[in-house]
Amino acid sequence: MITLADEALVLRRIPYGETSLVVHFFTRNHGLMAAMAKGARGIKSAHRAPLAAMHTLTVQLRLRDMTGMATLHSADILYGRHGLTASPLCLAAAQVATEAVYRGVASGDGNQPLFHALSQTLDGLNRGQSPAETLAKGLAQMLTAMGYGFDMQRCHRCETGTSSLAYSWQSGQMVCSACCRGERFLLLSESACRAFAGSQGEVSLSGEETSLLYRLAVATLEKHGKAKLVSDTFFRQYLGW
């Protein structure tokens, strides 16, 4: 038996039997890990509260080898995000963020930049700061951490290297000014380009740029990931997008 201790975020919970749960964790050092949490849905279970929301946990997992399913030995809240439950929109955004990681990464891939990007996004949503913009920028950072980031240095059509790109609605890509002549295009601000490139820090997006970044991020995830994002439909309905 191996015992692993790690920081973890809950990506998915699947009820199992009468009171148990199969929990998919995203851990800081070991990536995606599935664990059986025996009796975790029971009223008296110590695991019930930590697993119920999107807190950063410290978990101890026991497993026979690194390929099989682990058993959850302990879960404690390291950093709580109780604010998320106060806003249905922030919670819906947090569900998109966690599902994006669940769909986008393979089992057992440790990815600390991605863990950091997801944690930061959940923190922003927990503070209740403009959920759509926080999520859109967070998804761009997560895509970069997964290696699917947007190329903001090169025209997608003629492949010329340039930093002055516009979004072409026709091709759904970033193209140079020569390539989008006569088409419907959206010029992005410098801050939007930085956000699209997944850079951290204070960048401010317009409503249109936020919605575009979000839709591009989801489309990119669905192209590379395992399946369609279920939580996306719900989130868009909420925002009326």
| Residues near Zn ion (CB under 5 A) | 155, 157-158, 176, 179
Distance, in Å, from the CA atom of 89 to the CA atom of 98, rounded to the nearest integer, reads 14
Least Å distance, CB 173 to Zn ion, is: 10
C-alpha pair distances (Å), 199 with each of 186, 223, 232: 20, 22, 23
**63 - beta bridge partners?**
2
Least Å distance, CB 39 to Zn ion, is: 59
Nearer to Zn ion, 158 or 227 (CB): 158
Nearer to Zn ion, 112 or 170 (CB): 170
Distance, in Å, from the CA atom of 198 to the CA atom of 46, rounded to the nearest integer, reads 38
Least Å distance, CB 67 to Zn ion, is: 46
Distance, in Å, from the CA atom of 40 to the CA atom of 13, rounded to the nearest integer, reads 10
Cα torsion at 42, 45, 51, 53 (round to 10°)? 80
Q: Are strands 70-79 and 165-168 parallel, antiparallel or unpaired?
A: unpaired
Least Å distance, CB 144 to Zn ion, is: 23
Nearer to Zn ion, 179 or 212 (CB): 179
Nearer to Zn ion, 146 or 180 (CB): 180
Least Å distance, CB 69 to Zn ion, is: 49
Distance, in Å, from the CA atom of 55 to the CA atom of 126, rounded to the nearest integer, reads 10
Nearer to Zn ion, 87 or 162 (CB): 162
Cβ count within 10 A of residue 197? 17
Distance, in Å, from the CA atom of 93 to the CA atom of 227, rounded to the nearest integer, reads 18
